[in-house]
Amino acid sequence: MPKKREPVDDVLDAIVWMRRKSKKHEAVDDFINALLTMRKTTKKKARKKTKKKAKNSAKPKSTKVGRSK
């Protein structure tokens, strides 16, 4: 099953197409690299956040056990 495409994928495709058509690639290359690194870091942060959230929800709540006064 193919992965669901995100709007960012469409933007990157358009930028890569623009790079192929441009005469000087350096500026477009820097822009593409910056976008890809930003995307990687946001995905990494989202993964960490969901992992942490799942870990906290799986942890049982502590109950005090002992004699009542």
Phi, psi of 39 (to 5 degrees): -65, -40
Domain boundaries, given as residue ranges, for the chain = 1-45
Model pLDDT for residues 17-65, shown as the tens digit of each residue: 887 877 776 777 788 888 888 888 888 888 888 777 776 666 555 666 6
HEC letters along the chain: CCCCCCHHHHHHHHHHHHHHHCCCCHHHHHHHHHHHHHHHHHHHHHHHHHHHHHHHHHCCCCCCCCCCC
Spatial neighbors of 12 by CB under 8 A, at least 6 apart, are 32, 35, 36
Q: Is the pLDDT of residue 14 over 70?
A: yes
The rounded Cα 19 to chain-centroid distance in angstroms is: 24
